[in-house]
Structure 1
C-alpha cells in the first residue's frame, strides 16, 4: 500500500503536474479556444494544429480520471474516512491508411499512470478484503505502465480484422459499446476479468497477444484471442517489462457478438456471449488437506453482456434510457468467485438544457465459490482457529456481496465532467461479521 498523503493536497498536485506536463508537450495551450466550453479538449485545438494532425492521421489524447470515496457508515472500520485515487492516460493513434496508404490499418500507443489509495481497504476485513471496489480506477498496480502498443489491420474488405501487440483483454472481449460512468468496479466492461483477474488481465495491465475478428455480417461478428499470461506484468515497476521470462500459460477467449439497431430511431444494441480457457495452473480449492492444496487445475468460464438503448429523446438515439445486463460464470475448482450478475440503467440527456448529462443506477451480486468457503473453514480448523478476532483467523467468505450505486454525471464542459455518486455495499467481502457500508463518492474526467 502507498504511504498516506495529505488528502487535501494530493489531488491538486497530481492535476497540476499532469496539466503542466501536457502544456509543455502541446506548446499551444494558449490558443484562443483553450478552456472553451464547446471544445472537446481543455487546451483546445492548438490553433488548428490538432485538427490538421488528425486529418493527416495522427491523434493525441490525454485524459485524467479521479475518484474519491468517503465512508459514511458501516464497513469493518466505521470511522468516516476518505480515499483518493486517479489515473493519467497518454495516448497516440496513428491512422496508417492516411500516413502510409496502408488500407484499413492503425497503430495505438497508450501509457498510463495510477496512484492513490482505495477506500475498499477500509470497508472490508483487512484479512479478506472486499470483492468489488468502490473506486474502479484503483488497482492493478499503482505505477506507470505501457498499456497499449498494438497494430490493427483489416483484411478482405474488413471481413477479417487482426490486432496484435501489447494489449488488454477487456478492450476487445466483454466490452461495452460506450464509456462507463459508474465508480464501482462491478458495473463497467470486461467483468469477466474483474472476477478472474489472476487469469484475464484488464486495463491497465497489458500483455503480448491479440485477436482475430470475423465480421460475418455488418451486425454479427465472431472473434478469438490469444494472450500470454505473465504474473510479472502485475508487479509495481514492471509496467514496461516486455519479456516473457515469467510466463505461466496462455488465455484463449472466444466471443460471438451482435450489434443491431432497432426501430426508426436506430436504437443501438450490443449483445455478446463468450467463453475463456486458461492453461495456467491454479490451486483446486476442493483439494485442501493436511495443510495444503493437493491438486491444481486449469481455469475456464463464460460471460454474457446484453446492452440496449431503449428510448431516444428528441429524435436523438444518443439520449434516452439504456439498459445493460451482465453475468459471469467461473469454474468451481480454481475461482474464488464462481458467479456474478448485474443490472444497470442509464439515462443520458434527461433535461433538454443538459443534453450531455447522465443519470445511472445499478445493482450487482458477486458470489463466493462454496469450495473456497469450505477451504477457509478447513484451514481454520487445521490451525486451531475459532475466534474471529484472532489476527491469524481467516474470515469466512460465504454467500454474496451486493453492490449498489446511483450517480449523476454533470458535463460542465465538453472536456470536463463531475460525477457525484452514492454506493451501498451489503456484506463487504461476503463476510457476515462486516457491517453493510454506505459510501459517498465523487469522480471527475478531464480531457486535455
Structure 2
C-alpha cells in the first residue's frame, strides 16, 4: 500500500513512502532495478514458490511427515508494442517440482492433499500466444496450456490446498494422461466470447492425451518427462462452457458455470474384456475399449453476505458426472464456504471450509465383487471418498502467504484395501499441512 505523508502534495505531486522488507511486493524487491527495466520494455517476469509441509497424524497406509514444493518461473511479453496488435502477448512458464507429498505414499486418496504434488523434476508448463480484444470481448489462446486454468474455474476455493477443488478428480483420475492440466498440459486452442454483458462463452480443442502415445516395453520410460512433447496424433478433447454472471436480491453477485467435455480416445472397460467375460475371470483377455469419454459439469459461486470493506461470505457448489463403464469416478459433488477478511484488522486474510464427495463407478464395484467371488478373496468393496478441508490463508507480507490446513479423508481411494490388512479398508485419514507461498 502507498502512503502519502503530510505536506508532500505541495505541487500536486505525491511521493510514495519508501518500501521496507515487509511491505515490498517481492522478496528480492526490484531485482536491483531489473524488473522495472524489463517492464518498461513490455516484459514481466515472475518467480513463485509454493512449499507444503504435510503430516499424516492418523489413518492411511502410514503416518509421518512429507514435503512437496513447486517453483514456477514465468515470463510474459507484450507483443502488442512490437507488432502493433493491441492485446497480443506471449507467455511461457516452467514447473520445478521438489520432493513428494503424502498422497501417493501415505494416503492413496483420489484427491491430492496438496495441489502442488506431482512427479518431481523440471518441465515446461505453459507456452502460448494470447490475444484479448478491447473490453475482453474476444479472447484467443493458442499453444500449450491447461483446461484447469481456463475452464470449470472455482475462484472462491483458490486458497484450498486439496486438488479436487481446483481440478476435479473426475477429470484428473479419468481422462487419458490426466487431461491437459497440471502437471502435464497439452497443445490446444481456446476461443472466448463475451456474448452479452453477463454471459461469457468459451470453447477449447486439446490433444486427447497430453502425454502422447503410450510407450512400449516392460519398464517404459516416463512419457514426456520434460513437458516438451506437443502430441497432435492422440485424438482430441473438446470442451465448451458458458458462464452467467448474476445478482441475487438480498445477497450479492454470483456466477453460474455449465460445461462439458468429450475425448475421442477409447478407454479400457473396468469390468468386461473384448470377449465379454469379466476381467476378474482367469485369462479373460484384454479389456474392451469403450468410446464416449465425457464429463458434464456445473458450478455456482454466490456471495451470501457482505460486510464493511472487503468482508464477505461466499458459498460455492459444484457437480460433475462421467459414464461408469470406463471411469473410476462417476460423480463428483462439492460445496464450501469462504469468509474474506475474517478478522477486522486483517483485510487480506481468508478462511475456508469445504467438502467433496467422489462416487466410485458401479463397474469398478462389480469388478471387485466378481474378483472376490471367483478367487475367494475378501477385498473391501469400494464405494466413495469424502474429503473435508479447513484452512486459513494469512498474508504475512505481500510476498509471503502462510496457509495452515487440516483435512479429513473418509474412505481413501474410495475404500481401497489396507496394505497391512487387505480384508479391511484403509483407515480414514487426518492430516495437517502448512503451505508457504513466496513471490521472489
* TM-score normalised according to structure 1 size: 0.81
Q: State whether residues 35 and 42 of structure 1, in contact with CA within 8 Å, keep that contact through their aligned partners in structure 2.
A: no
- Compared CA separation, residues 179 and 52, structure 1 to 2 (3 A): farther
After TM superposition, list the pairs within 5 Å mapping 1:136-175 onto structure 2.
136-139=115-118, 141-155=119-133, 158-175=136-153
Taking the aligned partners of 1:179 and 1:404, their CA distance within structure 2 comes to: 13
Please say if residues 157 and 352 of structure 2, whose CA atoms lie closer than 8 Å, have aligned partners that are also in contact: no
Pick from 96, 101, 106 the counterpart of residue 79 of structure 2.
96
**Structure 1 residue aligned with 2:329, among 319, 329, 337?**
337
Q: Deviations over 1:416-439 (max 9, x none)?
A: 011111111111112262211111
Partner secondary structure for residue 305 of structure 1:
strand
Cα distance, 1:407–1:201 mapped onto 2, change above 3 Å = same
Q: Secondary structure at the match of 1:230?
A: coil
User: Quick check: 1:277 aligned with 2:262?
Assistant: yes
Deviations 1:369-408 (A, max 9, x none): 01111123334545x25154xxxxxx54x22111011111
Aligned to 1:241: 228
Distance 1:324 1:251, change over 3 A: same
Q: Between 413-422 and 183-192, report the one with greater CA deviation.
A: 183-192
**Paired position in structure 2 for 1:7:** none
Deviations 1:44-82 (A, max 9, x none): 1235543453354221111100112111112233xx311
Which of 91, 94, 110 in structure 2 is aligned with 1:111? 94
Shift of 1:160: 2.8
Report the alpha carbon displacement of residue 268 of structure 1 after superposing the two structures with TM. Answer: 4.6
Residues in 2 aligned to 1:295 and 1:97: alpha-carbon distance in whole angstroms: 47
Q: Distance in 1 between matches of 2:429 and 2:139?
A: 45
For the 8 Å contact 1:177–1:270, the answer to whether it is kept is no
By how many angstroms is 1:315 displaced?
Answer: 3.0
Residues 204 and 112 (structure 1), Cα distance of their counterparts in 2 relative to 1, 3 Å cut: same
Correspondence for 1:131: 110
Please state how far the C-alpha of 1:359 moved relative to its aligned partner: 0.9
Q: Distance in 2 between matches of 1:270 and 1:347?
A: 17
Of 122, 139, 158, the residue aligned with 1:180 is 158
Please say if residues 144 and 237 of structure 1, whose CA atoms lie closer than 8 Å, have aligned partners that are also in contact: no
CA shift at 1:236, angstroms?
A: 6.0
Partner of 1:259: 245
Contact 1:142-1:236 at 8 Å conserved across structures: no
1:86-138 C-alpha deviation (Å, 9 max, x unpaired): 101011112222343212212111111112123123444xxxx3211212210
Q: Contact (CA 8 Å) 2:210, 2:231: kept in 1 or not?
A: no
In 2, Cα distance between the equivalents of 1:217 and 1:64? 38
* TM, length-normalised to structure 2: 0.83
1:309 aligns with 2:293: no
Describe the shift of the 1:311–1:97 C-alpha distance in structure 2 as closer, same or farther (beyond 3 A): farther
2:390 corresponds, among 385, 400, 406, to 406
What aligned pairs does 1:355-370 form with structure 2 within 5 A after superposition? 355-370=347-362
Structure 2 gap ranges (5+): 1-16, 215-221, 416-423
- Measure the CA separation in 2 of the matches of 1:197 and 1:337: 11
Look up the SS of the partner of 1:374 in the other structure. helix
Structure-1 residue corresponding to 2:403? 419
Alpha-carbon distance, 1:158 to partner = 4.3
8 A contact 1:332–1:371 mirrored in 2: yes
| Larger mean Cα displacement after TM superposition, 178-187 or 361-370 | 178-187
Question: For residue 349 of structure 1, what is the aligned residue in structure 2?
Answer: 341
RMSD (CA atoms): 2.7
| Displacement after TM superposition at 1:253 (Å) | 0.6
By how many angstroms is 1:275 displaced? Answer: 0.8
Q: CA 1:282/1:118 → structure 2, altered by over 3 Å: closer, same or farther?
A: same
Kindly indicate whether residue 393 of structure 2 is the aligned counterpart of residue 428 of structure 1. Answer: no
How far off its partner does 1:164 sit? 0.6
- CA distance in 1 between counterparts of 2:150 and 2:298 reads 14
Q: Is the 8 A contact 2:125 2:145 kept in 1?
A: yes
Q: Distance in 2 between matches of 1:179 and 1:108?
A: 25
| Structure 2 residue 38 is the aligned partner of structure 1 residue 44 | no
**C-alpha distance 377-35 of structure 1, shift in aligned 2 (>3 A):** farther
Query: C-alpha separation between the residues in 2 aligned to 1:100 and 1:75?
Result: 55
Are the equivalent residues in 2 in contact too, given 1:33–1:43 (CA < 8 A)? no
Unaligned 5+ runs, structure 1: 1-31, 389-394
Give 1:287 deviation, angstroms. 2.1
Using the alignment, how far apart are the partners of 2:21 and 2:156 within structure 1?
24
- Closer, same or farther: CA 375–434 of 1 in aligned 2, 3 Å: same
Q: Match of 1:63, SS?
A: strand
Bigger Rg, structure 1 or 2: 2
Q: Is the 8 A contact 1:123 1:428 kept in 2?
A: no
> Size of the alignment, in residue pairs?
398
